[in-house]
Amino acid sequence: MDAFFAAIEERNRPKLKGMPIVVGADPEGGKGRGVVSTANYKAREYGIRSAIPIGEAWEKSEAARKAGKPAAVFIGGSYGDYGKVSANIYEIVRKHVEQIERASIDEMYMDLSFAGSYEKAIEICDAIKEEIREQEKLTCSIGIGPNKLVAKIASDRKKPDGLVVVEEKEVQDFLDPLSVRVIPGIGPKAEVELQKLNIKAISDLRKVSLETLRAHFGKWGGEMWRKARGISDSPVEESHETKSVSKQETFHKDLLDPVELTGVLKKLAHDTFGALKEDGFSGFRTLTLAVRFKGFDTKTVRHTFKNTQSDAHTLEFEAIKLFLPFLDKRRNERARPIRLLGVRLEKLT
């Protein structure tokens, strides 16, 4: 989906049509904590993008406003509603395609091999795009390729409202000029490491031997070697099992008070357990506590129980037990304000 959350807000509120829209944390006049979740294309013209600090987005909006352009509209977001729209879109797609993998709230993979030809696949995708536009008043971008990797990269090339087809014989010419960064799994760190080896484009990556990549990146190096060639055999998988459930909270202001912190942690543990139940699980074995300090330095500690635990009180108790060493340290050393606490449950039943 194109600028999914922002597009839904723009659709729902006719007054916002054509305005720059930012869904994310409350900017609080530039003092807000948090990041941009989604910016629509108008807001992107101001340099506002997903994942940038909300305060920075606010500054960019202010700069535009002073230049005589409309200020961006900041919206907190209604994530439950977005989930419902996502479900509607899934239902539309399902009328055309049987095998679908929901990759995230706004992305899915469709196995179109039943179409038999690229021409037929394009027809199906055109119909899907049309139906989503008609029924949901939203646009999406689709990539068609011989596998998930190529299709995903293709889907990003002509946003918004794009349809990009890359047939087998075109794969290498399509990939070669692109930055290695378009390969899913190559993020900022890997990009820097690759640049040290003078690798920027996928064509550069393809010139490096499998051995060299393995030596630098281990198992992942082998994967990169394959991806640079557009090789991917990952199937379109309809079901996926949830492996963890978590809740975390960044505080409005960094916290120091042990009483306040343990109170927050208890609530967090309780809510995480609620989410676990809501997801249809009865218990867990591993509990991880995350503590993020002022300055973003983050520590995690975990405990794995011998047996499955299915009681909220046990969870709260153990979470606080894991947290105690952080508090003890506080009494001996200088205080370290805490920015975030998080609770994650794994090994679910």
Partner DNA sequence: TCTGGGGTCCTAGGACCC
**DSSP-derived secondary structure for 31-55:** T--SBEEEE-HHHHTTT--TTSBHH
Closer of 118 and 293 to DNA (Cβ): 293
Least Å distance, CB 342 to DNA, is 7
Residue with tokens 């119909």: 127
The strand pair at 284-293 and 298-309 is best described as antiparallel
Least Å distance, CB 122 to DNA, is 23
Closer of 113 and 304 to DNA (Cβ): 304
Least Å distance, CB 121 to DNA, is 21
Sign of CA dihedral 92, 94, 95, 99: positive
Closer of 135 and 242 to DNA (Cβ): 242
CA distances from 220 to 38, 107, 184, 225, 321 (A): 30, 24, 12, 9, 37
Q: Which two tokens stand for residue 177?
A: 């000029």
The separation between CA 10 and the C-alpha centre of its own chain, rounded to angstroms, equals: 21
The strand pair at 142-144 and 163-165 is best described as parallel
Catalytic residue among 107, 131, 237, 249: 107
Over the Cα atoms of the chain, what is R_g? 23
Closer of 115 and 202 to DNA (Cβ): 202
Q: Which of 330, 245, 230, 258 is nearest to 288 (CA)?
A: 245
Kindly tell me the number of DSSP H helices and DSSP E strands found in the chain. 13, 11
Least Å distance, CB 301 to DNA, is 4
How far apart, in whole angstroms, are the C-alpha atoms of residue 207 and residue 202? 9
Peptide bond into 184 cis (omega under 30): no
Q: How many CA atoms lie within 13 A of 198 on its CB side?
A: 3
Closer of 18 and 274 to DNA (Cβ): 274
Least Å distance, CB 221 to DNA, is 9
Least Å distance, CB 100 to DNA, is 15
Can 107 be counted among the known catalytic residues?
A: yes
Closer of 27 and 115 to DNA (Cβ): 27
How far apart, in whole angstroms, are the C-alpha atoms of residue 25 and residue 50? 11
Q: Which residues bind DNA (CB under 7 A)?
A: 25, 30-35, 37, 50-51, 53-56, 59, 103-107, 152, 183-191, 218-220, 241-250, 275, 279, 285-286, 295-296, 298-304, 339-340, 342, 347
Residues that are catalytic = 107
